[in-house]
Chain A
Amino acid sequence: MKLRELAHSRAGDKGDISNISVIAYQEKDYALLEKYLTPERVKAHFAGIVHGEVLRYALPSIGALNFVMQRALGGGVTRSLALDAHGKCLSSAIMTMEIPDDTDPS
């Protein structure tokens, strides 16, 4: 299923770095996010957009992950040529990632 079914997200910017939260609607789904949203998978998903390292921070107390993506904003909001210079729309892009349904017995 798409990540969008399990979680919501907001993107923020600092310089050329984008940070994207992924927050489970239901706390029971947090483990699935932690298992499948590895920094490697997230970096692969954003190929062509994120040119630097992707770091992941876990916040189990609120059922959320925070991804910090380096060199993701075309040089940063103040000089980017992009229409979405802040990378605000990146929160929607992560929602298209596929998460296998571990509860499915097949």
Chain B
Amino acid sequence: MRHIRIGAGAGYSGDRIEPAIELAEKGEIDYLVFECLAERTIAIAQQARMNDPALGFDPLLAERMQAVLAICSEKKIKIITNMGAANPLAAAAMVRQIAQAMHLKLKVAAITGDDVLDTLKAGDYISDQDIAVNSLGDKLLSANAYIGAAPLVEALAQGADVIITGRVADPALFLAPLIHEFNWAMDDWHRLGQGTLVGHLLECAGQVSGGYFADPGYKDVQGLARLGFPIGEVAEDGSVVITKVTGSGGQVTPATCKEQLLYEIHDPASYLTPDVVADFSAATVREIGPDRVLVQGATGRARPDTLKVSIGYIDSYIGEGQISYAGPGALARGKLAQAIVAERLQLSAAVFDEIRYDLLGTDAIHGAALSAQASEPYEVRVRVSARSGSMRDAIRIGNEVETLYTCGPAGGGGATKTAKEVVAVQSCLLPRRQVTTSVHFE
């Protein structure tokens, strides 16, 4: 049976670059996919584009392309990425410039159509949090539909060597080359379900090859500083062997594959994507060699008629302050510091919708119920964070914590403060026919 080898070169925007170079050089792959777009990333990218129309794509795009373009061109490896974020056309133009400067002849395609901001502004859409989208007004920054594999398949059919997209469903980045290479029908739900499982296993890159897995003494992983990113060796029937470059760090085992199989999905029998409703519930995972795990048995049903849209908007302002106490009585001084800030904020006119007090190292992550302390910690760090409708009030939080230097308990040190505008995300559903995608080669 024919196989296609797909490498995952990044699992998020800031991911390491070296493992992708290793995949291109030694992975014997046909495709290299960089998944770099989280829910909120595209809203922030839209903000960047508003400030400068030439921006709005992934900040590491140029660095990544300079690292892999020449090798991929030489070895005929096609590159697919959503690093176009809010501006796939400008991103593709930059990749063409980089290729030209390297004297490489590459066909670079940009996919557009995911930006549905105008459609949402003009309609009566209600978000998953029961807010009328058009009531957000000036606070509305972006609306991007999760589009499927179809326009990517079209670009591949037209000979694209590099494909730059914005908001495409993550597994679709991997599904597209399978549909193209194996001539799968766009209603072959069974195979599209399998191909979506392949994409889901690979989309977080290192997370299936031993990253985010180690727990010393229970789950030991070697060579995490040289973690190898995964390769999916996919057969025509959609079954996949997950593997990695021999000699790289990390490991591919049934356990790493199972953790990734269930990552960020809800009902495993109904994983909704723009291409298929995938069913992973009967999938099997079997080790067939060192760092070689066979995953098969997924299936699928007809795709949904609606597409999920991520709506980015300016939600609020969060201020934060931190200060440390150490040595005898550190915990008591930390608690006193919290009480002082709480009283100060009550005395002030500042308005906060929500305030949170943490003692780092004690109860900051899982709250008091799950964090019963056996002994007094040597050091604690006080953290106060709060949400407000105004930047001015958000800034006040950090200032109140900082004034503990001269006005609070003894021995406080290392105060820091921040205040930020919060770009948050809601979602809504849009009928598929209202989204039109295009493929651009220039």
Contacts and interface: CB of A to CB of B under 8 A. Distances in A.
Interface string B279-301: 01111110000000000010000
A contacts with B: majority SS: mixed
- Chain A, interface residues (CB within 8 Å), range: 35 or more
Interface in A58-106: 59, 61-64, 66, 68, 76-79, 81-84, 89-90, 93, 96
A78 B426 CA distance: 9
A12 interface: yes
Interface string B259-271: 1111111111100
Interface of B: 39-40, 128, 212-213, 215, 218-219, 254-255, 258-269, 280-285, 297, 315-316, 318, 354-356, 358, 360, 364-370, 383, 385-387, 422-425, 427
Given A59-B268, A79-B316, A79-B424, A10 B259 contact: yes
Given A59-B281, A61-B283, A49 B259 contact: no
B262 A64 contact: yes
Interface of A: 4, 8-10, 12-15, 17, 19, 21, 23, 25, 45, 47-49, 55, 57, 59, 61-64, 66, 68, 76-79, 81-84, 89-90, 93, 96
A89 B297 contact: no
Contacts of B265: 12, 19, 66
A23 B284 contact: no
A93 B366 contact: yes
A17 B267 CA distance: 13
A44 to B, nearest CB: 10
A4, A17, A23, A45 pick with most chain B CB within 10 angstroms: A23
A89 B394 CA distance: 27
B223 to A, nearest CB: 20
Contact of B367 (A17, A21, A48, A59): A48
Given A10-B263, A14-B264, A83 B40 contact: no
